[in-house]
Amino acid sequence: MKDLDRILSELEPQMLDTLRCWLRIPSVCSPAEPGAPFGPVLRSMLDQALADCAALGFSTSNFDGYIGHAEFGEGPDEDALAILAHLDIVPVGDGWTVEPFEALVKDGKVYARGASDNKGPAVAALYAMAAVKQAGIPLKRKVRLILGCDEESGWKDIEHYQSVTTMPRSGFSPDAAYPVINIEKGGYFLTLKAMPAGEGLRVLRFNTGQRRNVVPGAAEALVVGDEALADRARSLAKKHGWPLTATVEDGTVRLQTVGITGHAAFPHLGRNAIGQMLILLRDLGAQAAWCQLANAIGMEYDGQGLGISAEDSASGPLTCNLGIIRYDGDGIEATLDIRYPLLITPTHLPALARQKLPGFEVIGQAGKPPHFVPEDSELVQGLLDAYHEVTGLERKTIAIGGGTYARVLREGVAFGALFPDEEDIAHQADEYVSLDSLHKSMRIFARAIVKLAGKEA
Ligand SMILES: [Zn+2]
């Protein structure tokens, strides 16, 4: 490994140059053009990345602008060690204090949209491959870096790849955190509908949430009422400790409450503003269907009130996020994003939930199976060894509620590139990647490649 470590050190400045070049391309998905299914900027991003891979001596393929790969070594495609990363980024958003596409280097960090998600890890993997190649380490299988362009949106890149070429069976995606994520919970998405009926406070409008996988951080409802109702609402909210504004306008009251935005895969980090509003409406005496939602879901994210809570020791608890509510005076539509543990069969989830929501019918449902790679597999053990040897940190596997590219490989895990002591700044303002972490990742990936794809001496 001595040679390998020396080569890795020598490659560090070049790695930074490549990363900064990639980060200066604002590769957000935009409308399709001929040869550019995710827009011309992503097309030039992919061309640039593959040109850099080719310059390092890898053979490259561009699959119609959807996705590309760079590889070295010999053997069947199916058996290649795959490393899956992505070149597309989420929009810049507000709150930046640095230029998001300048790739400023300051205090050992590189700042840019996409620095940590996912261009930094992609470049680290590329230079890990380059170091193994330059060290002349003989391989028993191909090593293939797959660079997608649609991870943040619809995974159409992966779909295209699978339809035109062979997806390897095994590998990892450095698009999450260390150590190894070997369990991704299953997903179950339910939309329920009911007509509000019977006695009670009338809600006129309640539309909150854009995406089911987001814990809504603010909610607004319009109800029939006067100053007295507004006062009651304010004191109820105060009792719960939730912010609320109640504005009276000709016989109606506009209620606005604020929670904490989060991701449906980690609902405990957020505070669901729809749930807050439902509880306020119930306590103000709203019609039955609203009370059912408040009682069965409310502020819970473990499915307890819905009768679907579950847990296994490997994957942890089921989570449930009420991400969207739609009501304009017709029916109430509520959309749930449920992440369930490995041991659950989700077939009866909708029927179980409906027992607690008797006025509701299921008008939409979709599922995504859980993904699992056993801890004792050669892949997981090889990655944990590489991680531990470079960092000295604890070898362990973790389960998450989210879905990464890893699940498109029959035996795929997420591996890096965020270290346990680092904050997750993906999708946030002033996104950055630490150079020290990238250098460590290069070493970890290079060792992993040698362990998993190198010929035994
Ligand atoms: Zn990502």
State pLDDT tens for residues 302-358. Answer: 999 999 999 999 999 999 999 999 999 989 999 999 999 999 999 999 999 999 999
- Which among 265, 246, 264 has a CA at the least distance from the CA of 255? 246
CA of 254 to the centre of ligand 1 (A): 38
CA distance linking residue 195 with residue 105, whole number of Å: 56
- The predicted pLDDT at position 427 comes to 82
Ion ligand 1: residues, CB within 5 A, are 117-118, 175
CA of 167 to the centre of ligand 1 (A): 19
Q: Give residue-wise pLDDT tens across range 143-173.
A: 999 999 999 888 999 999 999 999 999 999 9
- The predicted pLDDT at position 457 comes to 54
CA of 48 to the centre of ligand 1 (A): 19
Fill in the amino acid letter for 402. Answer: G
State the pLDDT confidence band at 33, using cuts at 50, 70 and 90: very high
User: Does residue 257 contact residue 237 with C-beta atoms inside 8 Å?
Assistant: yes
Q: Give residue-wise pLDDT tens across range 362-408.
A: 999 999 999 999 999 999 999 999 999 999 999 999 999 878 899 99
- Which among 55, 81, 59 has a CA at the least distance from the CA of 70? 59
Q: 232-236 contacts: CB < 8 A, separation 24 or more?
A: 232/284, 233/280, 233/284, 236/280, 236/283, 236/284
107 Ramachandran zone, left/alpha/beta (phi>0; psi -120 to 50): left
107 among known catalytic residues:
no
151 among known catalytic residues:
yes
Q: Which of 52, 150, 151, 333 is catalytic?
A: 151
Q: What is the mean pLDDT of the chain?
A: 95
Calculate ∠ Cα 203-207-212, nearest 5°. 135
Strands 311-312 and 316-317 turn out to be: antiparallel
CA of 112 to the centre of ligand 1 (A): 14
CA of 34 to the centre of ligand 1 (A): 26
Q: Give residue-wise pLDDT tens across range 265-279.
A: 889 989 999 999 999
Q: Between these two residues, 424 and 54, which has the higher pLDDT value? A: 54
